[in-house]
Amino acid sequence: MTVPGKTKLVYQYHGKLTELATKVHSVRSFGSLEDANRLLFKNGADDDFVVVTGETIFHPQGGGQPSDQGFMNWSPNGTTAADLSFRVEAVRMDAVNGSQVLHLGSFTTPAAASQLQPGDRVKQVLDVEKRLLYSRLHTAGHVLGSAVRSLLETEIPGFDELKASHFPDSAACEFRGAIEGKWKEPIQRRVNEYLERSMPVEIDFWTEQDFCREGLERLIPDRSLLPPGEDKFRVVRIVGAEVYPCGGTHVDTTDLCGETTVKKIARSKGISRVSYTVT
């Protein structure tokens, strides 16, 4: 359901949508944002704007995944005139009103800035190439995490998965425990196995009871992480491997990650960082 004044995260339910018609809630200059929200955008400039819509297919940066990019297009006053455009360059969850999604960017013409108003209808259009890359990287990160757990969970005292980055230039998964370099090749072989099996990647929504039923109490997230108006957690299951609470975007089967290479294992202060690339 859509909560009034909130942004419905459509990408979490319909991850293959690349275009979406929705309504504008607000248009603000970057300079008018609260301090906490300006700090979310390291590259924000005074001539940028932030658009909030009732729904979005743009994934905000978070969970280790970069934000989507693309455009919002509309016709002035609902006419058939040539479309005006707002270029979406970065997306974040609102730090003050956490139920809203902030789309930062710039209008493609100076006149467009004054012609987009609350209540107007826009068509969101994703940069499909970037979305696919980020989805491949995110799923590959889960494949890597699952491969490492399957090999080392009983081999390393206190082992656990910690956090991950799925950015193109810094993709890596971190684990508690010292993973020695000798494990690099076995991890690569297990990753390759999971990719070659074309394991389905399924999206579902679970209650705390669902986690308990699966024996995965350790994965129950804090309820503060639930999307506005929701009472179930989004989970991603790699069928035959692992389940992860996850709000990110993914490919449909593991083979679609493409070639995934384990680059390096680094260790520091009891934490191991396994970096990877996809091609």
Other residues' Cβ atoms within 10 Å of the Cβ of residue 242: 19
Q: How many CA atoms lie within 13 A of 128 on its CB side?
A: 5
Mean pLDDT of the chain: 93
Phi-psi region of 260 (alpha: psi -120 to 50; beta: other; left: phi over 0): beta
Indicate if the pLDDT at residue 224 is higher than 80: no
Indicate if the pLDDT at residue 2 is higher than 60: no
Alpha carbons 133 and 239: distance in angstroms, whole number: 21
Task: Please name the fold of domain 131-278.
Answer: Threonyl-tRNA Synthetase; Chain A, domain 2 (3.30.980)
Indicate if the pLDDT at residue 97 is higher than 90: no
Q: Identify which has the larger pLDDT, 4 or 164.
A: 164
- List Cα–Cα distances, 31 to 38, 69, 104, 133, in angstroms: 8, 21, 12, 32
Alpha carbons 246 and 275: distance in angstroms, whole number: 20
**What's the pLDDT tens digit per position in 10-43?**
999 999 999 999 999 999 999 999 999 999 999 9
Alpha carbons 241 and 245: distance in angstroms, whole number: 14
Span 8-126 CATH architecture: Beta Barrel (2.40)
Phi-psi region of 258 (alpha: psi -120 to 50; beta: other; left: phi over 0): left
* Range(s) within the chain of domains with CATH label 3.30.980.10: 131-278
Per-residue pLDDT, 82: 61
Per-residue pLDDT, 278: 98
Q: How confident is the model at residue 1 (pLDDT cuts 50, 70, 90)?
A: very low
Q: What average pLDDT does this structure show over 115-142?
A: 96
pTM to 2 decimal places: 0.92
Determine the residue type at 193: E
